[in-house]
A and B are shown apart, each in its own frame.
Chain A
């Protein structure tokens, strides 16, 4: 096979939805359709649609990107390019709880790295990974605007301030149960 053909084949394979991919699940696909229908008429709709899908479905897989691009009648690269540019978009589902550690200046100088070490030890995964039970995904993040309570972390939509390694353990234990 010529390399170009091979690329086409590989690409087509990557875009083929697995059976649990949101575009292959009727109820989720209906949600995606509704989001697209609501925002598509607005100018600059790609970001609006992706933001909404990311927050409602939790990720934007490659088959989803393909689906969105076709619906919007734009090149796939314009969707993929946006997804890879902004840190809020993920292509794989996160764990049940997203735990993000602020690495802004104020948090960094007040010991954010210690919190990360502790969380990695406790959960047994590295930054950017999800625990095998899919309960937690831990990631770094940018300043949360809670700098006067540094070091800060955010779990889902809740900011926790004035952390110590011990306090992180307490916080994570609390979310483990829910």
Chain B
């Protein structure tokens, strides 16, 4: 590889949006054209993550000129290869001339952000290990293996105050210390890349944009507590992350960072990639291990903790993607450098994904201890469309909803815990005042019900009962005493469930009851959904100002709308499914919900 020179490099964006617009066809066309002109040895085609103009994708950038071409079709490719690569002039028709558009998922950092984990994402070519090495990549590995003892590595991680980014926030150094103390010739390190929380995609971006930082962290972890084999468990929903990881693994092996006698130190280490198959509970560590062992992903009681008896009964450490990606930085810059960022108890930065009703959705990295208000209003630009803030949901399905008056809470594990929520993997979903909190609680319970592995009774049956009550409330059949019953069931499920899934399942219910009790009461007592969401409690009506354009009638999936051209239409509420499509297609705003 290092001795091949190319006169041009073409970067082809493989972001989901560009793929949707046919990036794969463009790739085929490019290869075909390059072959046809015998340019395959001179021009290097690289697939990259988001280049930034995906709304006008598919797009490519041709280097060394740094020219961006957008709106590509296979025919455009023929022209670009002819003009740009053969004749050496810019193919103006497809040239991107506007101001360079930002990556919408990962924008330029705002004043309150610090980029450590995300520093290389979108900057280096994730499919080229040399880019990573040129940016001090694998320097921490060299430092750890050549200048530090395993004990010193663990001490650095301990002193840095790094805590697990997978949700529970357990001190990483402590975990490694337990595993180091185990006498066993076989130990394992597992990277948890199952990222199942809906609304969270930070691990995906690291894996797609800077995969070697995670691999380097794994080798260092292995060295620290004596593991020679690692596994990465990545969810199947992330095909691009899987592909990037495969390439990174192959290159790292070629460069001798994996395998026998790494850097001539006599330390052996290798990693295998395992893909999930669509089960949320497999993010839980004992379930994840069962899945790697090739079984149903059912959790088991702890103790014994994985650090004592984990994968195939051997001492095993499971760390989240982001936890591991922090490790090379800590080793390179020292524990003190890391510990100066963050709060007393929670050090460093954390990535969060913002989704829902804010102006700037996407991925951010902020020092821990920043307040939720700063995140929502300064970093994310506040609520969009001029609506009001209602709640922010943190921690995924086992997290909670936090209302406006608690927004000044500094973000860390303890504070979120005190509010009845959790940090989780860092997904933040912001909801405006058109969101119904009872419906959200029902939504999460539906999710939990679906994903409960069914092994323990409190989680399997308890959450079903909760879901049934919530469904009843949303349908307008709520009864006096339902709220108390929900609280009681929640208490039992929390205390009696086997794993974190069941133990966290009541959080969305308890927090919404605590902060939005009036909304539950409106549903139960007044049979009214104040946010106008719950289908059993609303009706759609067409106003007399309807000009009779017939668009709604044509779009109604249930054929519930009738009316003649240029006459006011009517909705048959018996047929109406309350899907709301009519409202989105009406150009005259003459449809209302009541």
Chain A residues in the interface with B (C-beta under 8 A): 42-48, 50-51, 54, 78, 81-82, 85-89, 102-111, 113-114, 117-118, 120-121, 141-150, 152, 155, 157-161, 164-166, 171
Q: A51-B277, A111-B580 are in contact. Are A105 and B16 (CB under 8 A)?
A: no
Chain A residues lying within 8 Å of B585, measured Cβ to Cβ, are 165-166
Q: How far is the CB of B524 from chain A (nearest CB, A)?
A: 23
B159 in the interface, Cβ–Cβ < 8 Å?
no
Contact A106 B19, beta carbon cutoff 8 Å: no
Chain B residues lying within 8 Å of A87, measured Cβ to Cβ, are 277-279
Contact A121 B443, beta carbon cutoff 8 Å: no
B105 in the interface, Cβ–Cβ < 8 Å?
yes
Contact B198 A106, beta carbon cutoff 8 Å: yes
B555 in the interface, Cβ–Cβ < 8 Å?
yes
Contact B297 A149, beta carbon cutoff 8 Å: no
Chain B residues lying within 8 Å of A155, measured Cβ to Cβ, are 20
Q: A109-B435, A114-B579 are in contact. Are A86 and B201 (CB under 8 A)?
A: no
A110 to B429, CA, bound (A): 11
B374 in the interface, Cβ–Cβ < 8 Å?
no
CB contacts under 8 Å to A, within B247-302, are: 272, 274-280, 291-298
Query: CB within 8 A of A105: which of B293, B296, B427?
Result: B427
Q: A87-B279, A165-B555 are in contact. Are A105 and B294 (CB under 8 A)?
A: no
Chain A residues lying within 8 Å of B291, measured Cβ to Cβ, are 47
The 0/1 profile, CB within 8 Å of A marked 1, for residues 552-593 of chain B is 000101000000000000000000010111001100000000
A33 to B292, CA, bound (A): 22
Query: CB within 8 A of A48: which of B274, B278, B355, B363?
Result: B274
Chain B residues lying within 8 Å of A50, measured Cβ to Cβ, are 277
B393 in the interface, Cβ–Cβ < 8 Å?
yes
Chain A residues lying within 8 Å of B296, measured Cβ to Cβ, are 81-82, 85
Q: How far is the CB of B559 from chain A (nearest CB, A)?
A: 9
Q: How large is the interface on B (under 10, 10 to 19, 20 to 34, 35 or more residues)?
A: 35 or more
A50 to B278, CA, bound (A): 13
Chain A residues lying within 8 Å of B361, measured Cβ to Cβ, are 106, 147-148, 150
Contact B557 A148, beta carbon cutoff 8 Å: no
A171 to B20, CA, bound (A): 9
Contact B274 A114, beta carbon cutoff 8 Å: no
A43 to B579, CA, bound (A): 48
Contact A44 B292, beta carbon cutoff 8 Å: yes
Chain B residues lying within 8 Å of A103, measured Cβ to Cβ, are 198, 447
Contact B199 A147, beta carbon cutoff 8 Å: yes
Contact B295 A82, beta carbon cutoff 8 Å: yes
Contact A117 B20, beta carbon cutoff 8 Å: no
Contact B443 A117, beta carbon cutoff 8 Å: no
Chain B residues lying within 8 Å of A145, measured Cβ to Cβ, are 195, 200-201, 204, 237-238
| Cβ contacts A to B, 13 pairs, < 8 Å | A47-B291, A47-B294, A81-B296, A86-B277, A87-B279, A141-B278, A142-B196, A146-B16, A146-B201, A147-B429, A149-B104, A159-B19, A165-B584
Chain B residues lying within 8 Å of A47, measured Cβ to Cβ, are 274, 277, 291-292, 294
Contact A148 B555, beta carbon cutoff 8 Å: no
B17 in the interface, Cβ–Cβ < 8 Å?
yes
Chain B residues lying within 8 Å of A152, measured Cβ to Cβ, are 16
Q: How far is the CB of A38 from chain B (nearest CB, A)?
A: 14
The chain A residue with its CB closest to the CB of B105 is: A148
Interface centre among A43, A106, A114, A121 (most CB of B within 10 A): A106
Contact A109 B295, beta carbon cutoff 8 Å: no
The chain A residue with its CB closest to the CB of B298 is: A85
B550 in the interface, Cβ–Cβ < 8 Å?
no
Q: A85-B296, A86-B278, A165-B581 are in contact. Are A147 and B19 (CB under 8 A)?
A: no
Q: How far is the CB of B105 from chain A (nearest CB, A)?
A: 5
Chain B residues lying within 8 Å of A54, measured Cβ to Cβ, are 277
Query: CB within 8 A of A143: which of B104, B200, B279, B431?
Result: B200
CB contacts under 8 Å to A, within B470-525, are: none
The 0/1 profile, CB within 8 Å of A marked 1, for residues 430-450 of chain B is 010001000010011001000
Q: How far is the CB of B108 from chain A (nearest CB, A)?
A: 15
Contact A105 B393, beta carbon cutoff 8 Å: yes
Q: How far is the CB of B206 from chain A (nearest CB, A)?
A: 12
Interface centre among A117, A121, A145, A149 (most CB of B within 10 A): A145
Contact B294 A82, beta carbon cutoff 8 Å: yes
The chain A residue with its CB closest to the CB of B353 is: A147
Chain A residues lying within 8 Å of B195, measured Cβ to Cβ, are 145
The 0/1 profile, CB within 8 Å of A marked 1, for residues 321-349 of chain B is 00000000000000000000000000000
A114 to B195, CA, bound (A): 26
B177 in the interface, Cβ–Cβ < 8 Å?
no
Chain A residues lying within 8 Å of B357, measured Cβ to Cβ, are 109
Contact B293 A44, beta carbon cutoff 8 Å: yes
Chain A residues lying within 8 Å of B239, measured Cβ to Cβ, are 157
A117 to B343, CA, bound (A): 47
B130 in the interface, Cβ–Cβ < 8 Å?
no
Contact A85 B238, beta carbon cutoff 8 Å: no
Interface centre among B274, B294, B396, B444 (most CB of A within 10 A): B294
B356 in the interface, Cβ–Cβ < 8 Å?
yes
The chain B residue with its CB closest to the CB of A42 is: B272
